[in-house]
Structures are given as C-alpha cells and as structure tokens.
Amino acid sequence: MAAPKQVRWGMMATGGIVRTFAKDILLDPSTRNVVDIKHVITAVASSSSLSSAQKFISEVVAPVQSTPSCTPYGSYEDLVKDPNVDIIYIGTPHSHHFQNAMLALQHNKPVLCEKALTVNAAQAKKLYQTAKEKGLFFMEAVWTRYFPISKTIRKHIMDNDIGEVVRVSSDMSIGAVPEDSFAVDHRMVNLDLAGGCLLDLGVYSLTWAFQTLYHTLSPSLREQDRPKVVGATMTFEPRTHADESTIILLEFPKSTPSGKTKAHAVATTAMRVSDDPARGRGPEVEVPTVRVQGEKGEIQVWGPIYRPTRYRLVPKDKGQEVIDKTFTFEAGAHGMMYEADAAAKAWLEGKLESESMTWQESILIMEVMDEVRRKAGLKYPDDIETTEYPVKLKGR
C-alpha cells in the first residue's frame, strides 16, 4: 500500500480552538480508517508573542510529533511566508477572519478558516473571489457537517426515509448568564470581536436548517431555490449590546426535488437559557435540540448541536421500528479531525472547495445572517465590517 500523503499545517493563533484542532489532527488517522493522508504541523504563529507559539509547540505538538520539525512564529505575516506550510488553519475571533484569510491567500496559501467565516457576506464573497483567482483551496471550518452522524442524517433525508421535510427546528443555547460568565472584552460579548450569539452559536442552528433542507437538494436546485428570512428578532446584552438571544424564521422553497410545499425552519440561539438543561441527567428527561419533521416521520438529534452524539428516527407508521443510534468519538478526540481530513483530501485532489461546505452555501448563510442583523438592528463596528484589505484592527 502507498505511504500516506503528508499534509503540512500552519496554525494561525494559539487560542482555545487551535489547541483542540491541533490535538485532533495529530491523532493517528488509521484509528478512523483514514490511510491515505497524515496531518503534520510544521508551523505555529501567535500574534501576541513568539513565546506563546513556542509554548504551544512544546505542549501540543512536540509530545506527539518528532518529525518534521515545527517552527514557532511571533507574527502571522511570518507564518504565511513559510514554504514548509501547505495549508493554514485560522482560529482567530470572527472579526479577524477576513483580514487573516486575505493575508494567507495573498501569500498563496490555501485556508481552512473557523466559523463564522466572516462578519458579513461581502467579506466572504471577496475571500472566495480571491481564492478563485489564485486557484487556492478555501473552506469554512464547519466541523459538524463532517461528522458521521451528520452524514447519516443527510442520507436518511436524501433516501426519503422521513418523506418530504416540512419543518426544521434547531437550537444552540448555552445557558450562561453573560454578566457572570464573560468579561466585557471577551470574544463572546465584545462587538469589536464580532461577539454575540448569532455569529458564534446561531451559525450552528442555521447549519442544521441548511444541511437538512438545502444541502440535501441537487446543486442545480440549490442555486435556484434560495431560502428567505421571513422574520428575525434579537435581545441584546445590557453591557455591550451584542445579541444574547436571536430567533430566525426561514422559508425554504423546497425540501426535496419533487417538493409539494414550502418548508419552514426556526433557528434559535441564546446565552441566558439552555437548549437542554437536563443534559447529562439521563435519556428519559433530556430533550432533542434539532427536530427534522417530514411527512413520513421525524429525525430528532440530541446533544449540543455543534457536536451531537445521538439521533432517533421516529416513523409516523407505528408498524415501523424506531431507529435510535449513538455515535462515539475515538479515544481522546473532540471531532475536528473529520473536517481536517476533508480539507486535506480536497486540497490534495486539486479542488478549490469542499463538497460538504461549498462556497455558494457559506456565502448564502452569511447573507442570511446579514439579513437577520438588518431586520433585528445589529451592526458591528465599521473596521470589522469593511472589505478593504489590509486594515489594522483594534487590539492586534
């Protein structure tokens, strides 16, 4: 058998999610039956200090990777010039994604960029236009789409197992009182960092609506049948005016190619209440966080919707069996290696985008979030909404 192809990652930032991502991609891929690729980390950059990158390497990379060596950088500008980096993972706050991703693309580096991709759709379009012109792979890191549970649920819908999907509800609410949990400069509530529910958590509620009502259509139908935001409302964090609760009502023209009716989605997100206060107390009291309701039955999903672990398919016909499946992750894994595998494979194949998170769909979801903000009255500071590059942002 041919040796696995090595994909050399460069980490842009050393915060929470980059640590999780790095640990996951350094797990042995053969334990998840991936034998054709191997991820290595050849550079780590921190915008705060060289020592932060060095610390990251000694704590996260060096204990598992002896070769190739990993170079620490004290700036993102140095990282994007490193010839030993094939692809860059961006794990900075949403406010900075546009500037950071442009920096990587301008230096001819392919990119996997954390969600939410950008602050607005205009920025997303400009990034994809740049990637297209330069022939570079670019993907929004919506890890949930790449989980086996998500793929299985999409397959049930495409196989017509619950009939035409008529309604989807999805909730991503963390049950954290913002005044107690987040200082005003924390990325969750700080508007300079595009804080608030919508971009950080609501993007998952929209992910479930889109992956069950839109992604399941053929690419040509997806182009024609654009969903519409029919309603949106927000409440705001009293100190910073970031959104702390957002409710979105969407109308999708069709859910299957032969769809008879329009479909509805209700996507909700909040800080102060929880999507399932009983989580961990046992299946008899827990509640589903996503419901995909079709004419012939319903799919219910349990767990935080960014990382769900169980689904149940309940057919309307009581003579048919209920499917109830729990998914586990390999030991020590959080689950980010699936998106990394998809990105690495697509890049090695010379593709510019990922089939499970296309540029068109990422832009459409950003357009939906723009419209939600317009309807509910939320604006971010001008410097993080701009499509100008380069712009020096506050802080870094």
Ligand X SMILES: NC(=O)C1=CN([C@@H]2O[C@H](COP(=O)(O)OP(=O)(O)OC[C@H]3O[C@@H](n4cnc5c(N)ncnc54)[C@H](OP(=O)(O)O)[C@@H]3O)[C@@H](O)[C@H]2O)C=CC1
Ligand Y SMILES: O=C1OC[C@@H](O)[C@H](O)[C@H]1O
Choose which of 96, 126, 291, 373 interacts with ligand X (CB under 6 A).
96
Q: Which of 44, 8, 15, 21 is nearest to 338 (CA)?
A: 21
Query: At closest approach, how far in Å is the CB of 29 from ligand X?
Result: 19
Choose which of 93, 259, 303, 304 interacts with ligand X (CB under 6 A).
93
What the block records as the tokens of 15 is 């915060």
Q: Between β-strands 87-90 and 111-114, what pairing exists: parallel, antiparallel or unpaired?
A: parallel
Q: How far apart are the first and last CA of the chain?
A: 47
Provide the mask over 248-287, with x wherever binding to ligand Y is found by CB under 6 A and - wherever it is not.
----------------------------------------
243 binds ligand Y (CB under 6 A): no
105 binds ligand X (CB under 6 A): no
Nearer to ligand Y, 200 or 353 (CB): 200
* 188-48-117-165 Cα dihedral, nearest 10 degrees: -50
137 binds ligand X (CB under 6 A): no
Distances (CA, A) of 111 to 93, 95, 134, 239: 15, 17, 12, 35
Provide the mask over 176-195, with x wherever binding to ligand X is found by CB under 6 A and - wherever it is not.
-----------x-----x--
Name the segment binding ligand X (CB under 6 A); options: 24-32, 86-94, 130-138, 161-169. Answer: 86-94
Q: Where are the alpha helices (DSSP H) in the chain?
A: 16-25, 50-56, 76-79, 94-106, 121-134, 148-158, 178-181, 197, 203-213, 219-224, 337-348, 359-376, 382-385
Query: At closest approach, how far in Å is the CB of 172 from ligand Y?
Result: 8
**5 touches 29 (CB < 8 A):** no
CA angle 148, 6, 47 (to 5 degrees): 85
Nearer to ligand Y, 208 or 306 (CB): 306
Query: At closest approach, how far in Å is the CB of 163 from ligand Y?
Result: 31
306 binds ligand Y (CB under 6 A): yes
Residue 179, helix vs strand vs coil? helix
Nearer to ligand Y, 171 or 200 (CB): 200
Bin 350: left if φ > 0, else alpha if -120 < ψ < 50, else beta: left
Query: At closest approach, how far in Å is the CB of 294 from ligand Y?
Result: 28
114 binds ligand X (CB under 6 A): yes
Nearer to ligand X, 51 or 218 (CB): 51
Query: At closest approach, how far in Å is the CB of 347 from ligand X?
Result: 19
Beta-carbon count within 10 A of 101 CB: 31
Query: At closest approach, how far in Å is the CB of 306 from ligand Y?
Result: 4
* 355 burial type by CB count under 10 A (0-12 exposed, 13-18 middle, 19+ buried): exposed
Give the span between the Cα atoms of 96 and 102, in whole angstroms: 10
Longest dimension (CA), the chain: 63
**Residue with nearest beta carbon to ligand X:** 15
**Residue with nearest beta carbon to ligand Y:** 306
Provide the mask over 183-202, with x wherever binding to ligand Y is found by CB under 6 A and - wherever it is not.
-----------------x--
Residues at the contact surface with ligand Y, assessed by CB under 6 A:
200, 306
Q: Which residues bind ligand X (CB under 6 A)?
A: 13-17, 46-48, 52, 91-94, 96, 114-115, 143, 187, 193, 200, 306, 395-396
